[in-house]
Amino acid sequence: MLSHIAYVSRSCSPLDAKFLSDILEVSVRNNERDGIGGVLMYHDQLFFQILEGEGRLVEQCYGRICRDPRHSGISIALDETVEARSFPDWLMGYVGPDEIGEHTGGAMLSLAGLNAPELSDGDKRGHALELARIMFKKFSKR
Ligand SMILES: Cc1cc2nc3c(=O)[nH]c(=O)nc-3n(C[C@H](O)[C@H](O)[C@H](O)COP(=O)(O)O)c2cc1C
């Protein structure tokens, strides 16, 4: 059974090169082992990540990520089973602040709408789902 999880969280410190390479290094290692693909986006201290793979392994990975003290306020936007993969096996693509517009075809220029205090939870979820949809489309064409 394949599944997708997408979540939004807030980084506990600004993302520097070492912070990012530490996360990507362990992610690529574990996700390749577990056949998990997806994308990690970062902007303005917010993370948006999509994980995709075998349901139990995705749950385990998400469990580890939730326990990670380097981010907080984790809010799940999407958790569903799917028929087919949108991301190639084991890919964990990284999309930084300057590339968000390019990767979303200009549909989103920042992640600010994912956690803005004035937005309702429904609106935030809507933005996150929209972003997930854009990313599924983009990466499935690779
Ligand atoms: C924003 C963020 C995204 C992460 N993404 C992943 C991931 O996709 N896969 C993964 O295994 N760990 C990821 N991690 C790291 C996990 O929280 C955890 O440190 C790691 O899975 C522990 O693996 P280990 O037991 O092999 O050391 C992420 C951490 C953060 C803060």
Instruction: Please state which CATH number belongs to domain 2-140.
Output: 3.30.70.100
Residue 88 has pLDDT above 80, yes or no: no
Domain boundaries, the chain: 2-140
Backbone dihedral angles phi then psi of residue 90, each to the nearest 5 degrees: 60, -5
Which residue, among 126, 9, 132, 6, has the nearest Cα to 74 in the 3D structure? 9
Q: Is 92 in the pocket of ligand 1 (CB under 6 A)?
A: yes
Helices (H), ranges, 16-120: 17-34, 55-66, 100-103
pLDDT of residue 141: 61
Q: Is 47 in the pocket of ligand 1 (CB under 6 A)?
A: yes
Per residue in 38-87, pLDDT (tens digit) is: 999 999 999 999 999 999 999 999 999 999 999 999 999 889 998 988 87
pTM, full prediction: 0.92
Contacts of 10 (CB under 8 A, 6+ apart): 45, 46, 47, 71, 72, 73, 115
For a ligand 1 pocket test, name from 16, 65, 74, 95 the mutation site with the most ligand atoms within 8 angstroms of its C-beta.
65
Q: Is 87 in the pocket of ligand 1 (CB under 6 A)?
A: no
Residue 121 has pLDDT above 60, yes or no: yes
Of the two residues 53 and 112, the one the predictor is more confident about is 53
